[in-house]
Structure 1
Amino acid sequence: MAGVVVMISKSIVRPESNTDGSDSDRVKIHLTPWDLFFLRSDYPQRGLLFPKPDPETDIISQLKSSLSVALKIFYPFAGRLAKTENEDDETASFIVDCDGSGVKFVHASAKTVSVSDVLEPADGNVPGFLSRFFPANGVKSCEGISESLIAFQVTELKDGVFLGFGYNHMVADGSSFWNFFNTWSEICSTGLHSGDRKKFPPLLLRGWFLDGIDYPIRVPIAETKTQPLIVTPAAQHDLQEKVFRFTSSNISELKSKANGEVDGKISSLQAISAHMWRSIIRNSDLNPEEVVHCKLLMDMRRRLNPPLDKDCFGNVVGFATATTTAGEMLSNGLGWAALQINKTVGSQTNEEFRVLAENWVKDPKIPNHVAVRNSIIVASSPWFNVYGNDFGWGKPIAVRAGPGNTSDGKLIVYPGLEAGNIEIQTCLSSHVLEKLSTDAEFLKHVCVV
């Protein structure tokens, strides 16, 4: 299926104009250390697979017109990054300039691909052709100066539609993105417009910054330049992806097992993350003394003091990292591993968040990649409203992650199609993924999608 995707059109969709002909005040958003941390990161990309619409429905026109309305509400996405180079100290500063430049919208066709090709690939892995259904492959956050801060690609399949998207993590996190996406789908399916203030109140921006720290934050020029990842072609080619499903029954079993082994309040996500972590380490052939990590991206809105509104727009995520050795991991049970995750999640407090940010500003270092050796990274959330997005031709039938920050050990977590289920798109080296997929102990509590 090498030549499977045909580009039909590329366009820019801008926010709906004000009905009174006036322009609202142009907002400029200052960036926090947590935003700047993602300066060199790829755009996270996700995609939803939908059933085939009625042939009489002009879905492209509907999507573009409703997107214009949604961008009037979620106006930061329609802006661009603005960069200032400070010659006096060889630093650079960035802001989000909400200038209404608009977003990239691609219309494509892949008429030789069916829904079953996406959902039921012959080898059981996420098919390679899927990468061509996404609009921001290889785009990094720092390129938001010229690239749109969110981008979309609608690919029409033989018997379905794939809606792929990528967004700049400096501007928004998953929580803000899905709030936007939920609003867009509602506008498209109901014909609502941005002027319906009762239904769509004004966007609430993050409104949080560190006391006593000057902004815009200055970052050494050298830290703002992208650097190629040192990954051998063979190692990159060796990565494969597979989707694993935890049913509500699986989740209950793992949560009960973990809590039965330790004196703690292990959550569902902590239990299944621990099961994935232990199983991946067990199948990775590591020496017992090798250090291993489990990193979880966490929404910090309600953990700050005072807490932020849960729906405020912006990027408010932190990393919780549990660390141990391969030997210690495998000599202890599920409950022990889950407790390590539980403790590091609990340690993410307002004080911790602020201290890390204050220290970062004193010596800004921007990672080229969030992954480290022998680590798993748990991203996204099973609580995002993914399957409620109906643009007027039916709800999604699957969700998939696209290229972007792809690394050995990256786990993208989604709600399952059936209520109570959780699915994890798992990226691992092929030999580890192959062993994991036939590991009887692992498969007792999970199934391959």
Structure 2
Amino acid sequence: MAPIILRNTYTVVPAEPAWTGRFPLAEWDQVGTITHVPTIYFYDKPSESFQGDVVETLKNSLSRALFHFYPMAGRLRWLPRGRLELDCNAAGVTLIQAESEAKLSDFNDFTPTPEFEKLIPQVNYKSPIETIPLLLAQVTKFNCGGLSLGVNVSHAVVDGQSALHFLSEWGRIARGEPLKTIPFLDRKILWAGEPLPPFASPPQFDHKEFEQPPFLIGETDNVEERKKKTTVAMLKLSKPQLEKLRSRVNTSEFADPARGFTRYETVAGHVWRCACKARGHSPEQPTALGICTDIRRRVEPPLPRGYFGNATLDVVAASTSGELISNELGFASGKISKAIKNLTNEYVMVGIQYLKNQEDLKKLQDLHALGSTEGPFYGNPNLGLVSWLTLPMYGLDFGWGKEVYMGPGTHYCDGDSLLLPDQNEDGSLVLATCLQVAHMEAFKKHFYEDI
């Protein structure tokens, strides 16, 4: 790809004075991935009806958005015991202006490649954490007139739902429209410092996501597995293929006739089985699947509309490769469904209590984006599969038209996967998955042949 020329770097602060002070983070904000998560949008040449300047439009609307979402303009600070807090100091976010002789057509099918990294602002984690912006964005103008907008957002501050809420309101402000949903910024609802409600009976603790994940038989960690070269694939699952899988899984002996399996449970079970086959596991190999679940509607009372923060929790389905492969697909989907059903209000509150009592949270923080081999979960023989199926992903319009493509950046390690709705809205899905190079071709073969 043609080189990227950086023209300007701006620090954008809230348009008006906003609240400043120390902002306690919920315990859920501080475990799992606490680094930045990249996404990228590609746009055709702005329509003739757009009369403004792209960079000025982004800069001015971003400044106004930060007034409403002022935590995004702050900085993280380390506290003792591996804790983080948010300093709402209006230090601002980073907006980079760049250009390239490349054309949109150079990106083929937009599969994430190392080239994407040049279009997304990179974060230097060697810098002190209190100097790192929570949001970095880069707008790149291409030779054809098209644009890309690469965004990197701190996962310690927001989850996917909240990040997309912020981006969609940024777009609305750029188009001259009022906010659709005012952010709810008080996190004490999920703050572990609050007393827990009394339980009718002492709750059972079964938070497998905080336990040591399985390793390959004969190994005492997965460090060597995580060092192996990986590659990313974007695999489309057409609506007929999805319906074929769902028909099979929902007529199996493992299906609940009253409910059936969801799209996610169906596809996740299929991915889990295919990965076990592609990795060549022995039948007795333990394996686990991390399932990122939104708890906004699962806690009591439900979180307010527009809750801005992290409200997702990983639950874990566990089995052996032999069980998964020797049984029909419904067995794997049933394991996943059961893990998700266990996520009740009580489960969440007991998890908060557990985290509150931890002497140090660092062992539960996944730093894989830092190039670290630490972190609780990913890597052979395990998988993580995050669903973006219900997120408002598409249609980010700053006044010059909606994107032609939106997708993940290059934030991947072995076993890290995303499930996305196809942008054509035809009922098909896209699996973005990262596996070791040695396993990817076998995975693709099983992924399609096992349908």
Q: TM-score range by the shorter chain?
A: 0.7 to 0.9
* Matching residue of 2:308: 313
Q: How does 1:136-285 map to 2 (within 5 A)?
A: 136-137=122-123, 139=125, 144-159=129-144, 160-188=146-174, 190-192=175-177, 196=178, 199=180, 201=182, 203-208=184-189, 209-210=191-192, 211-212=194-195, 236=227, 238-261=229-252, 262-264=254-256, 265-285=260-280
Q: CA deviation at 1:334?
A: 1.0
Distance in 1 between residues matched to 2:233 and 2:393, nearest whole Å: 19
| 1:75-110 deviation digits (Å, cap 9, x = unpaired) | 11111123445xxxxx46532122211101111223
Distance in 2 between residues matched to 1:336 and 1:150, nearest whole Å: 41
* Matching residue of 1:33: 27
Q: 1:251 to 1:309 in 2, by over 3 A?
A: farther
Q: CA deviation at 1:313?
A: 0.7
Distance in 2 between residues matched to 1:357 and 1:302, nearest whole Å: 17
Distance in 2 between residues matched to 1:424 and 1:67, nearest whole Å: 31
Which secondary structure does the structure 2 equivalent of 1:116 belong to? Answer: helix
Q: CA deviation at 1:253?
A: 2.2
Distance in 1 between residues matched to 2:139 and 2:377, nearest whole Å: 30
Residue 347 of structure 2: which of 343, 347, 352 is its match?
352
Q: 1:370 to 1:60 in 2, by over 3 A?
A: farther
| 1:123-170 deviation digits (Å, cap 9, x = unpaired) | xx6332112211134549x95421111111112233322211111111
* Matching residue of 1:409: 415
RMSD of aligned residue pairs (Cα, Å): 2.6
Distance in 1 between residues matched to 2:109 and 2:346, nearest whole Å: 47
* Matching residue of 1:219: none
| 1:387-412 deviation digits (Å, cap 9, x = unpaired) | 221122221222232233x2111112
What residue ranges of structure 2 are gaps of 5+ in the alignment? 197-220, 365-373
Which secondary structure does the structure 2 equivalent of 1:250 belong to? Answer: helix
**Is the 1:13–1:104 contact (alpha carbons within 8 Å) kept by the matching residues of 2?**
yes
Q: CA deviation at 1:417?
A: 0.9
Which secondary structure does the structure 2 equivalent of 1:425 belong to? Answer: strand
Distance in 2 between residues matched to 1:84 and 1:365, nearest whole Å: 11
**Is the 1:45–1:136 contact (alpha carbons within 8 Å) kept by the matching residues of 2?**
no
* Matching residue of 1:224: none
**Is the 2:82–2:361 contact (alpha carbons within 8 Å) kept by the matching residues of 1?**
no
Q: 1:49 to 1:444 in 2, by over 3 A?
A: farther
Q: CA deviation at 1:185?
A: 1.2
Distance in 1 between residues matched to 2:353 and 2:290, nearest whole Å: 21
Count, aligned residues: 405
**Is the 2:19–2:88 contact (alpha carbons within 8 Å) kept by the matching residues of 1?**
no
Q: 1:235 to 1:116 in 2, by over 3 A?
A: farther
The reply on whether 1:116 has 2:101 as its aligned counterpart is no
Q: 1:93 to 1:375 in 2, by over 3 A?
A: closer
Distance in 2 between residues matched to 1:205 and 1:422, nearest whole Å: 35
Which secondary structure does the structure 2 equivalent of 1:408 belong to? Answer: coil
Q: CA deviation at 1:65?
A: 0.8
Residue 52 of structure 1: which of 24, 45, 48 is its match?
45
Which secondary structure does the structure 2 equivalent of 1:285 belong to? Answer: coil
Amino acid across the alignment from 2:7 = I
Q: CA deviation at 1:54?
A: 4.9
Distance in 1 between residues matched to 2:83 and 2:440, nearest whole Å: 41
* Matching residue of 2:207: none
Q: 1:96 to 1:115 in 2, by over 3 A?
A: same
Distance in 2 between residues matched to 1:301 and 1:444, nearest whole Å: 35
Q: CA deviation at 1:69?
A: 1.2
Which secondary structure does the structure 2 equivalent of 1:66 belong to? Answer: helix
Distance in 2 between residues matched to 1:397 and 1:436, nearest whole Å: 28
Which secondary structure does the structure 2 equivalent of 1:154 belong to? Answer: strand
What residue ranges of structure 1 are gaps of 5+ in the alignment? 18-22, 86-90, 214-228
Q: CA deviation at 1:29?
A: 2.3
Identity %: 26
Amino acid across the alignment from 1:108 = A
Structure 2 length as normaliser, TM-score?
0.82
Q: CA deviation at 1:186?
A: 1.6
The reply on whether 1:377 has 2:370 as its aligned counterpart is no
Amino acid across the alignment from 1:14 = V
Q: CA deviation at 1:428?
A: 0.7
Q: 1:44 to 1:288 in 2, by over 3 A?
A: same
Amino acid across the alignment from 1:29 = F
Distance in 1 between residues matched to 2:277 and 2:124, nearest whole Å: 32
Q: CA deviation at 1:57?
A: 4.8
* Matching residue of 1:42: 35
* Matching residue of 2:116: 130
Amino acid across the alignment from 2:422 = G
Q: CA deviation at 1:329?
A: 0.8
* Matching residue of 1:20: none
Distance in 1 between residues matched to 2:255 and 2:82, nearest whole Å: 49
**Is the 1:118–1:127 contact (alpha carbons within 8 Å) kept by the matching residues of 2?**
no
* Matching residue of 2:10: 11
* Matching residue of 1:392: 399
* Matching residue of 1:425: 432
Amino acid across the alignment from 2:361 = K
**Is the 1:7–1:109 contact (alpha carbons within 8 Å) kept by the matching residues of 2?**
yes
Q: 1:137 to 1:334 in 2, by over 3 A?
A: farther
**Is the 1:42–1:138 contact (alpha carbons within 8 Å) kept by the matching residues of 2?**
no
Amino acid across the alignment from 2:186 = L
